[in-house]
Amino acid sequence: MKKGFAIFSLFLVMILSACSSLSNDQLIKDYVKDTHGIDIVIKNSYKNELELGEDSYVVAPVDHQEMEFSVIVESFITEDEPKLNYKGKHLIRDNYSTAIAADTELHKLDNVIPDIKKLGFSESFDNENRVFFGEEGKEIWGLLYSNLPMEIKNFEEKDLDHLFELYKLIKQSGALFDKVIVSDMRENHERGSFVFEIKALKDVNTKEEFLLKMKKTNANIASFYQNKKWASEKKKIENDRFTFDSEYDDYWFNCREVNANGECTNIFVTIYFKDNTLTKSNNFLEQDLNSIFNLFEKTITPKASIEYNFIEVSSDDGIRFQEGEIKKYSSTLDFINNNFK
């Protein structure tokens, strides 16, 4: 069974461009041998375009090549980090210890993989990774894949039972991941996914407890349910001058934090105004803002912290205000006069 075990770093994926070979290959091999006592193969190398003089290597033990880790070489040495100075020339760091820990946790899943497959999930997909871990942090994320598409709108009716059984198998295995990300196998822009925050779920024993914890630890689930709950109130105040809906957003407001009941306690909302209406000359702006403020600060319960983003539909530049900033003005009209042209 192929173990697609690899390092994942969101930051480096964005900023690194691959190089055919860097000049420090022997230095890297010597460093890993001296530091960890193992012989390695160098699988890839990158030059950090944002950090001058920093190169990144993806390496693996010769006898365990599915266990990849990274080694970073800095050509410029600072006086406050002499203990990282290798052979008087370079600052070198690696995440070998995290790779070892991740490999250990990954293999704990082996005993339950047959049962995981029976539930309709796979351990790998299209050579994608089975585990992610960063170059700096210590968190280990396990990855599993659903054979069927997963949709947030069908979460409770379609996916909840299978995900709960999957969680129980992961718990049974004893694998101590920080997170397990369960994704379907569609293209990235269409892919549905859910996150198991393992520490938050450790005391969960029932499906009802699992559902509540998933709402608390998955902002997309909380946002979906809260959007659905307050949709009728939203429709009451929308008009031909502004809307909360956008073809680019999944939710008309986003939950950034939730309470013990899975209800939003921190909300970010974007309001799309008709072009040329976010102005003092719009005689309806005060009325529209008051209806928006009343919805989020008086109607939606429990009371949450609100951040508003006001934007005209054809513009790329929104104007953001925390609820507390707006309340510093004596009235909504005072707020308009001081912030809109």
Domain range summary for the chain, segments of one domain joined by +:
10-94, 101-217, 223-339
The three-class DSSP label of residue 317 is coil
Alpha-helix runs per DSSP H in the chain: 10-15, 25-36, 96-108, 113-118, 160-173, 198-201, 207-217, 219-229, 231-237, 285-294, 323-327, 332-339
Q: Which residue has the tokens 């024993």?
A: 205
Contact 219, 256 (CB under 8 A): yes
Q: Is the pTM of this model over 0.85?
A: no
Which of 31, 32, 28 is CA-nearest to residue 45? 28
Q: What is the pLDDT of residues 7-45, one digit of tens each?
A: 333 333 333 333 334 467 898 999 999 999 999 999 988
The residue ranges of the chain whose pLDDT is under 70 are 1-23, 48-53, 75-89, 136-137
Q: Report the alpha-carbon distance of residue 310 to residue 295 in Å, rounded.
A: 15
Which of 200, 168, 167 is CA-nearest to residue 181? 167
User: What pLDDT shows up at residue 79?
Assistant: 55
Which of 305, 337, 303, 301 is CA-nearest to residue 321? 305
User: What pLDDT shows up at residue 128?
Assistant: 72
User: What pLDDT shows up at residue 24?
Assistant: 77
The packing angle between helices 207-217 and 219-229, to 10°, is: 100
Q: Which two tokens stand for residue 46?
A: 């990158």
Q: Which two tokens stand for residue 32?
A: 């890993």
